[in-house]
Chain A
Amino acid sequence: MTSMQSQAQYVLRTVEERGVRFVQLWFTDVLGRHKAFHVTPAELEDALDQGMTFDGSAIDGFSRTTESDLLARPDLSTFQLLPWYAKGAGVARVFCDIVNIDGTVFDGCPRQQLRRVLDGARAQGYNFFVAPEIEYFYFDDLDPTATPVPIDHGSYFDLLPDDTGSQLRRQTVLTLEEMGIGVEHAQHEDAPGQHEIDLRYTDALTMADTVMTLRYVVKELARQSGVSASFMPKPLVGVQGSGMHTHVSLWRDEKNAFIGERTYGLSDLANKFIAGLVRHAPEITAVTNQWVNSYKRLVPGVEAPVGAEWARYDAAALVRIPSVKPGRMDSTRVEYRSPDAAANPYLAFAVILAAGLRGVMGNYDLPKEGKRVAPLPQSLGDALKLMEKSTLLEETLGSHLVEWFLRNKRAEWDGYRAQVTAFELERYLPLL
């Protein structure tokens, strides 16, 4: 029996044994939003066998001019029960790849775009590992017409009496662990109602799936407690936003290829990788920070990066070299600090890897520590202009995806530009 068949048997049998009533087939649109089909066990066997046909024109970034029917094909290795459903009325999820009706890779599928980039790296002998730190807020509700109210008033590392936020975070971590998602640690962050969950490294594809799962679990458990969670990059004025600092390392021949004799225990390869990140950071920012609101986080004075530079310690640097505990050399890594947790994790990890690898392949020289090579774009509009000219993005993500992304994001930017904000009214109306 092939591996695929035994996986299918495992899944079908588990569905029977555990009394699973629905299986959610998860996938992700180009903007990183969670999509799902719900199938009953009776339909599951067909779905596993042939995939689920759907009309792609309804999904952001999936539409094409000629043919709109697509196939969602479950990746059985990701089959997992969702732990919060009652026994005997179980719900499971499985991630899907989106393919064309003829079975060929569909260019608009972020999961497969990441696969492609990972395959490219592997062809050169590299495995790419990722460990993100994910920040988010708990609010009383998500009423878009009012300023959101954080559910607590704690700060960085505060140990508060057992408030809702800390209970929720703890319960979330336990749920993630139950789903096999390793959590390094979790803490209260700097701002009121803000929390952070740091994940243990995995390969980038598993991690992108994990980020999607985490966002879902965080929001779902918050909802069950009568509050709301948001990964919006900058929901509150005057306090820091929510980022997704991303720790990365390359491995070759089962060894961490970032370990070496250069400054801070880094290898030549690591230096070139960092050089690639620093040089290409401005053009990939449209992907790692894809919303109008993302750029409200990337401002001076709140420990968020505003320029392309690297440093060991500077909390505002774009690329940081975390110190490694003695005896833990294998955790040598590089931290890329601009992405936010509202990015599409598949595309974000793909472009971070691609930018770093450019540095490696092109033998880039590492700029001096702390030297700002270029500013990061200050708005979505700026970022899109850089994206438009980027051959790196075109080659990494393909023209279908880049063109759609630009079109969608220009519309968002134009919509935003036409707004008159509270800032302007407050400042100008009495004066002008």
Chain B
Amino acid sequence: MSIDVVLCVPSCDGPVRKAFDVTGVTPAIAASARLNEIAALEPTDGFSGAVINAAALPFSEAMSLCRQLRQRERGVGPIILLLDHYQLDDLTFREDLFDDFVVGPYDVSELATRLRHRLRRAGNESVAPRIEHAELSMNLETYQASIAGRVMDLTYMEYELLRFLATNPNRVFTRATLLSRVWGYEYYGGARTVDVHVRRLRAKLGEEYAHLIQTVRSVGYKFGTSSEFLDQRAGE
């Protein structure tokens, strides 16, 4: 078995260094959060994990690095964040960007245990919850939706409506149901608001994929794939 090389940004000293030594993994230290610097350190068979010290970097830079590492074609294995206590709140809704975290002051044995634990579990990495349907892909943790690989710029309500429909494909929903389930509060325009948002979504899906949201005449809407739509058209 080859020696595990774990990426360490921006430094590896004190208790962190000791934890590496105890665990028996080799740190590859990148002093900055720059991807090219990191790529230059990468061993041929890749990193086994990454320890990002968010307390020693501007927080947004640390988050942005995590995101970039996640988006890289070649993974870096589990990501462990080192944090100051006051940064904990900032982790809310960013849970998908890291696999584990340790709050300072760092305890060598805790850090080593987590490092070992995460490295062992690597390989069955957790994947962000997604909805995949035909050409549509929605990442429910990052709130990003794309159609045929093209990211869509959705407003919040458009996103929520699409998520609801795509979570329940091929089920017909009335406007009133959609309004109460997706909006859940009063909105100018009543149920016609649903029509307006469906139009907006279809516009953003583009001509080729607009049919993913089908109008079921005098009932409401459903989310379905193109072939089902053609069948229905033929039956109309």
Whether the pair A83, B153 counts as a contact (CB closer than 8 A) is yes
State which of B159, B192, B201 has its C-beta within 8 Å of the C-beta of A127. Answer: B192
Chain A contacts for B190, CB-based, 8 A: 127, 251, 254
Query: Which of A137-145, A156-164, A197-205, A272-280 lines the interface with chain B?
Result: A197-205
Whether the pair B143, A13 counts as a contact (CB closer than 8 A) is yes
Closest CB in chain B relative to A59 CB, distance in Å: 25
Interface 0/1 of A1-45, CB less than 8 Å to B: 001001101111110111000000000000000000000011000
In the complex, which range does the number of interface residues on chain B fall in? 20 to 34
Chain B contacts for A202, CB-based, 8 A: 189, 196
Most buried by A among B93, B143, B154, B156: B156
Cα of A231 to Cα of B153 in the assembled complex, Å:
28
Whether the pair A10, B159 counts as a contact (CB closer than 8 A) is yes
| Chain A minimum-CB-distance residue to B153 | A81
Closest CB in chain A relative to B177 CB, distance in Å: 13
Query: Is A407 at the interface (CB under 8 A from chain B)?
Result: no
Query: Which of A175-183, A260-268, A418-426 lines the interface with chain B?
Result: A175-183
Query: Is A391 at the interface (CB under 8 A from chain B)?
Result: no
Whether the pair B155, A78 counts as a contact (CB closer than 8 A) is yes
Whether the pair A178, B204 counts as a contact (CB closer than 8 A) is yes
Chain A contacts for B184, CB-based, 8 A: 3
Whether the pair A177, B203 counts as a contact (CB closer than 8 A) is yes
Chain A contacts for B189, CB-based, 8 A: 127, 129, 202-203, 206, 251
Known contacts A77-B155, A77-B156, A180-B155; A13 and B93 CB within 8 A of each other: yes
Chain A contacts for B67, CB-based, 8 A: 16-17
Whether the pair B185, A3 counts as a contact (CB closer than 8 A) is yes
Prevailing SS type, chain A contact patch: helix
Whether the pair A200, B144 counts as a contact (CB closer than 8 A) is no
State which of B142, B158, B159, B188 has its C-beta within 8 Å of the C-beta of A205. Answer: B188
Query: Is B171 at the interface (CB under 8 A from chain A)?
Result: no
Total inter-chain residue pairs, C-beta < 8 Å? 91
Interface size, chain A (Cβ < 8 Å): 41
Chain A contacts for B191, CB-based, 8 A: 254
Interface 0/1 of B139-178, CB less than 8 Å to A: 0001110000001011111110000000000000001100
Prevailing SS type, chain B contact patch: helix
Whether the pair B192, A254 counts as a contact (CB closer than 8 A) is yes
Whether the pair A203, B192 counts as a contact (CB closer than 8 A) is yes
Cα of A84 to Cα of B60 in the assembled complex, Å:
26
Known contacts A13-B93, A81-B153, A202-B189; A180 and B200 CB within 8 A of each other: yes
Whether the pair A79, B204 counts as a contact (CB closer than 8 A) is no
Chain B contacts for A181, CB-based, 8 A: 200, 203
Query: Is B193 at the interface (CB under 8 A from chain A)?
Result: yes
Cα of A204 to Cα of B187 in the assembled complex, Å:
12
Closest CB in chain B relative to A52 CB, distance in Å: 20
Query: Is A53 at the interface (CB under 8 A from chain B)?
Result: no
Query: Is A149 at the interface (CB under 8 A from chain B)?
Result: no
State which of B154, B175, B187, B199 has its C-beta within 8 Å of the C-beta of A200. Answer: B199
Interface 0/1 of A65-80, CB less than 8 Å to B: 0000000000011111
Whether the pair A10, B156 counts as a contact (CB closer than 8 A) is yes
Whether the pair B155, A13 counts as a contact (CB closer than 8 A) is no
Chain A contacts for B16, CB-based, 8 A: none
Cα of A288 to Cα of B164 in the assembled complex, Å:
40
Query: Is A118 at the interface (CB under 8 A from chain B)?
Result: yes
Closest CB in chain A relative to B192 CB, distance in Å: 6
Query: Is A385 at the interface (CB under 8 A from chain B)?
Result: no
| Chain A minimum-CB-distance residue to B93 | A9
Known contacts A16-B67, A17-B143, A254-B191; A203 and B156 CB within 8 A of each other: no
Query: Is B63 at the interface (CB under 8 A from chain A)?
Result: yes
Cα of A203 to Cα of B196 in the assembled complex, Å:
8
Chain A contacts for B153, CB-based, 8 A: 18, 80-81, 83, 178-179
Chain A contacts for B185, CB-based, 8 A: 3
Please list 9 pairs of residues, one from A and one from B, whose beta carbons are closer than 8 Å in the complex, sorted by A's number.
Answer: A10-B159, A13-B142, A16-B67, A76-B156, A180-B204, A182-B199, A182-B203, A200-B196, A204-B188
Q: Which residues of A contact B (CB under 8 A)?
A: 3, 6-7, 9-14, 16-18, 41-42, 76-81, 83, 118, 122, 127-129, 177-182, 200-206, 251, 254
